[in-house]
Amino acid sequence: MNIAVFVSGRGSNLRAIIENENLKDLVKVVLVISDKIDCGAFKIAEEFKIETAVVGKNGISFSELIIILDNKKTGLIVLAGFLKLIPAEFVKHYEERIINIHPALLPSYGGKGMYGHHVHEAVFQSGDKFSGPTVHFVNSEYDRGAIIAQKYVDISEVKSADEIASLVLKAEHILLPEVVGLFAQDRIKIENGKVKIVGLEERQS
Ligand code: GRF
């Protein structure tokens, strides 16, 4: 399956997808898109000879992007640290084909302004004993689409928000490629607004 990855920053999740051995025969990253002209993730794209595009006020429009992505037969769009809200027409065009990774256990610690360090700082202040990434479908509200998968990280002993950030990031690098793989195998279904992973119930029983 051809996939496109939206980024705004360093791109460690992009790298986790590109380098994941289990994804080698399942997906190909055909485009990396950013709202920034220059970002760490573009360097990674360059390293792996993946095409890039800039969207928004510094680049092309989302309508132009739809044409490019459709031409590339893009089956899945992954938001990995993309900080801008995706316009409703774009979300509608790729309904149930856009996923996002959020660095906390949604529905807590999500929504506008809850990104990067702000999330981990809020979790640290709360005294929660667990945090962890959430991968969810994207709709037109920040962090509100159906939850696909989460990974628990024990933070009961941490001494700082930075420590939470680094533990959660490690978990992100495992969870996101896993979900991308499940999607590429057509094992993620939405039923009555809730996500079901095909094959999991057999494994658990
Ligand atoms: C990650 O923590 C992700 O959960 C959040 O933005 C960060 C992106 O990091 N949405 P990177 O650019 O993938 O290193």
For a ligand 1 pocket test, name from 101, 136, 138 the mutation site with the most ligand atoms within 8 angstroms of its C-beta: 101
CATH number at residue 20: 3.40.50.170
What whole-number distance in Å separates Cα of residue 172 and Cα of residue 175?
5
Ligand 1 atom nearest residue 13's Cα:
13
Q: Is 12 in the pocket of ligand 1 (CB under 6 A)?
A: yes
Range of the structural domain that residue 89 is part of: 2-204
For a ligand 1 pocket test, name from 5, 12, 164 the mutation site with the most ligand atoms within 8 angstroms of its C-beta: 12
Q: Which DSSP string do the residues of 87-127 spell out, in sequence order? A: PHHHHHHTTT-EEEEESS-TTTT-STT--HHHHHHHHHHHT
What whole-number distance in Å separates Cα of residue 81 and Cα of residue 129?
24
Model's pTM, two decimal places?
0.95
* Ligand 1 centroid, distance to 205 Cα (angstroms): 34
The dihedrals phi and psi of 68, each to the nearest 5 degrees, come to: -60, -45
Q: What is the pLDDT of residue 85?
A: 87
Mind telling me the catalytic residues?
Answer: 102
* Ligand 1 centroid, distance to 14 Cα (angstroms): 9
Q: What is the pLDDT along the chain (205 residues), one digit of tens a residue?
A: 999 999 999 999 999 999 999 999 999 999 999 999 999 999 999 999 999 999 999 999 999 999 999 999 999 999 999 988 899 999 999 999 999 999 999 999 998 889 999 999 999 999 999 999 999 999 877 788 999 999 999 999 999 999 999 999 999 999 999 999 999 999 999 999 899 999 876 555 4
Q: Is 169 in the pocket of ligand 1 (CB under 6 A)?
A: yes
Around 205, how many Cα atoms within 13 Å sit in the side-chain half-sphere? 4
Hey, CA dihedral for 69, 28, 50, 100, is it positive or negative?
A: positive
Number of domains in the chain: 1
